[in-house]
Amino acid sequence: MLRNYFIVAWRNLVRNRAFTLINITGLALGLATCLLIMLFVTDELSYDRFHEKADRIVRVVFRGNTQGGAIKDAHVMPPTARTLRSTFPEVEQATRFRMAGKPFVSYGNKSLRESVLVYADSNIFQVFTLPLLKGNPKTALIKPSSIVISETVARKYFGEADPVGKVLEIKDWKSSFQVTGVMQDIPENSHVHFDMLASMAGLAEAQSNSWMTSEFFTYLVLREGSDYKKLEAKLPKVVASKLGPQLEKAFGMSYADFWKKGNSVGLFLQPITDIHLHSDFPYDLSAPGNAQTVYIAGAIALLMLLVACINFMNLSSAGASKRAREVGIRKVLGSAQSELMRQFLFESILLTGIALFLALWMVDLALPAFNQLSGKHLGIPLLINPLILLGLVLLVVVVGLLAGSYPAFFLSSFKPLSVLKGGGNTIKMGQGSLSFRNGLVVFQFFISIALMICTTVVYRQLSFIEHKELGYQKEEVIILPETWALHQNQAAFRQRLSGDSRIQSISSSEFIPAGPSSNNNFFVAPDRNPDLLVKTLRYDVDPQYIPTLGIQVVEGRNFSEKFATDSSGIILNEAAVRSLGWKGNVLGRTVTSRENNGIATTYRVIGVVKDFHFRSLHELITPLVMIQNSQAGNLIIKTKTRDLAGLLQTMQREWNRYPSEVPFSYSFLNDRFSNTYQEEQKTGTILSIFAGLTIFVACLGLFGLATFTAQQRTKEIGVRKVLGASTGSILALLSRDFLKLVGIAFLMAIPLAWYAMNEWLQDFAYRISLEWWVFAVAGLLAIAIALITVSFQSVKAALVNPVKSLKSE
């Protein structure tokens, strides 16, 4: 039986080569898109699930609202871990990380910059699944100055030798660490990526009891059966009892009064499996993913596959007349409708199977480019995981049944008498069949047009971000990091660069207004309203910072080395002035900062700068305080030359004049700004690629339908031409019905696209508006594409000699 099905199916596929080719191409593109996105989505959803206790691990985060704006901090206070561990029996383990940067590591004659080093508590291996290849996980990080390295780092410095007991020099810190363990490389699907774990035991800050500073990423392992939400509900009491007294000591304000003033802060819990896709912190262990990108990608995969299935339904049912005689004869010879349905479904599954092999080839070709786009290392693990092979088989069956269900029912329902009476080559299509097929065309273009609109909006928002006036100049600005490594030669290095005619100005500051920055909580109290606390971000800058970045001073003046009193001066942004509730002239007013030890420092306002975007456009501009501090962290260099390559060579040569533990490196401020929006750029690229593919598949179907329509109306066209119809009128006749369907699809796509993009734009504090012309352009473009697709066959049919069309009559 199966052999007969296969023979009949193969003959039919070969006999109808044109439709077969269109169907296979459409299905292959749909399946390839689906497979690519399935790999991507599966990887995104798998983050941190490799930990044995992943379902019980939560991260403690700090959130709140003050007059200065929202507080979002992924790291919390030093004593949080031990406090929660000792207070709540449902906490089984508590551990911490503290970022230590990217140090310059030396061993023997090897001296290299490492990617990430973190300090960690000694029980880190009891919380996370980080297997040690060498060393004891229970004791590896107990002693100060001990370090655990990854297997990659071990091979880099020690080759095949045993690293345990060897000593690594951290040149940046002029310190040494003894290797006590080697761990497996951390999987890529982890929200933490570090190669070196140093013991927290020797870190003075780790022993602090301060609840006024936040420096530690803190994780809890909950006991079996514990609900993290119930534990989270108990945390406000802990914050009140611990933070309250220190807050009162620092600011003379009780915790209750702090809340009455409109402030609210607290600790919250975040499941580790949510961190990658659902974090919105300005500073984190690694750049998070984007849940919206995953949802959009998943939706595109399903829609693309659905469009391909619709193509199959449309073309199969449209070409039904070519198989009418076969159906009629087989029914006369005794074939039941159910048997015919099985035959047609088998053909559909066979065609889908062929399309799958083509799709796998497409995926193999596309994966390198897709990996580069997504920043991943995805592959097709068919030979490794039999479950995936089984999944692909099921995918073929499901898609084959879905795509072939309507054509199988439609073809097998033909009445033999009606079919054979007309010679078997034609069959009158019912109104219901035509309506259903038209509905499928409308749905295809509805999806295509919606994706076109969404892609346009995403790119317009990215263009808005790229060209928005930020309040500072990001072009032609070079950042030289870690100039502290020059030690006493910092001033000499800067002086030599200042003499270069290609450099306009130089500033030194730890803070750069692009990319991630820590949520530096700095509470100030104005002189006339001592009960008002305002959270700000603090920038320590030198007098050249504002002119180098082109920041506008709207009131007062910049810092100046001519005024010794500027050491206690302060410059605010406009958002800080508004938050302090000041009206009129603010120059000369004072603000007071108190540390948690209660010691107060008073600053006098000497200037106000226009608000500028020192963080992502996802966030509103928050209060900012600038304090004069010429201690170098980064050199910010404004250039005035097109010879950037030559200038960078000069900078490197000057850097190498002085002894330094750190090699010369640089970045461009505009690149740092662009990197802030990598996820949005990724979303735009994914949308544009798959929107194009969806439109192409829809056009394949439209091309097939136009071909079928032209064949069905060959004699009608011949008669019209004999009666004097022009080629243009025939083209309009054949195109009109299809263009109506595209127009209906356009009207349906508008509300869906508007809603989806309006929701997406809500994630930006500064965004474009959805203008009518975006929708109009997408609709006109879709109509133009459809017209071009249909016109090819329509013009071909219109140009046929009517003698050839009518000679059979």
Residue 316 near residue 704, CB atoms below 8 Å: no
The C-alpha torsion from 571 through 574 and 579 to 584, rounded to 10°, is: 90
* Amino acid 160: pLDDT: 87
* Closest C-alpha among 339, 322, 321, 319 to residue 330: 339
* Amino acid 280: pLDDT: 80
Mean per-residue pLDDT, 450-454:
87
> What are the tokens at 659?
């002894």
Q: Which amino acid is at 28?
A: A
Higher pLDDT, 521 or 560: 560
* Amino acid 429: pLDDT: 47
Residues contacting residue 449 through CB under 8 Å, at least 6 positions apart: 742, 745, 746, 749, 753, 778, 779, 782
What is the Cα–Cα distance from 605 to 612, expressed in whole angstroms? 18
Q: How many helices (H) does the chain have, and how many strands (E)?
A: 24, 24
- Answer left, alpha or beta for residue 556, where phi above 0 means left and psi between -120 and 50 means alpha: left
* Amino acid 174: pLDDT: 75
* Closest C-alpha among 56, 60, 55 to residue 83: 60
What 3-state DSSP class applies to 562? Answer: coil
Residue 707 exposed, middle or buried by CB count within 10 Å (0-12, 13-18, 19+): buried
Mean per-residue pLDDT, 698-714:
69
The C-alpha torsion from 444 through 449 and 454 to 455, rounded to 10°, is: 100
* Amino acid 320: pLDDT: 54
Residue 331 near residue 421, CB atoms below 8 Å: no
Q: Which amino acid is at 63?
A: R
Q: Which amino acid is at 610?
A: K
What is the Cα–Cα distance from 593 to 553, expressed in whole angstroms? 23
Residues contacting residue 73 through CB under 8 Å, at least 6 positions apart: 61, 62, 63, 214, 281, 283, 518, 519, 521
* Amino acid 323: pLDDT: 60
Residue 94 near residue 216, CB atoms below 8 Å: no
Query: How many residues are given for the chain?
Result: 809
Q: What is the pLDDT of residues 295-327, one digit of tens each?
A: 888 888 888 788 777 777 776 665 555 565 666
Name the pTM for this structure: 0.79
Q: Kindly report the backbone phi and psi dihedral angles of residue 703, in degrees, each rounded to the nearest multiple of 5, phi listed first.
A: -65, -45
What is the Cα–Cα distance from 571 to 556, expressed in whole angstroms? 9
DSSP code at position 75? S
Mean per-residue pLDDT, 137-165:
91
Percentage, residues of the chain above pLDDT 90? 22
Q: Which amino acid is at 640?
A: K
Residue 383 exposed, middle or buried by CB count within 10 Å (0-12, 13-18, 19+): exposed
Mean per-residue pLDDT, 40-68:
87
Residue whose entry in the numeric block shows the structure tokens 């030198």: 542
Residue 145 near residue 175, CB atoms below 8 Å: yes
* Amino acid 524: pLDDT: 64
Q: What is the pLDDT of residues 630-673, one digit of tens each?
A: 766 789 999 988 888 999 999 999 999 888 777 888 889 988 88
Which secondary structure element, helix H or strand E, spans residue 593, and what is its range? Answer: strand 590-594
**Lowest model confidence (mean pLDDT) among 60-64, 119-123, 717-721:** 717-721
Q: Strand pairing of 117-120 and 196-199?
A: parallel
Q: What is the pLDDT of residues 609-641, one digit of tens each?
A: 999 988 778 778 888 888 888 766 789 999 988
CA distances 697 to 316, 450, 584, 680, Å, are 15, 15, 63, 26
* Amino acid 37: pLDDT: 83
* Amino acid 126: pLDDT: 93
What is the Cα–Cα distance from 808 to 791, expressed in whole angstroms? 26
Mean per-residue pLDDT, 133-159:
91
Residue 212 near residue 247, CB atoms below 8 Å: yes
The C-alpha torsion from 313 through 319 and 322 to 323, rounded to 10°, is: 10
Residue whose entry in the numeric block shows the structure tokens 């920055």: 517
CA distances 459 to 70, 680, 689, 768, Å, are 28, 9, 13, 11
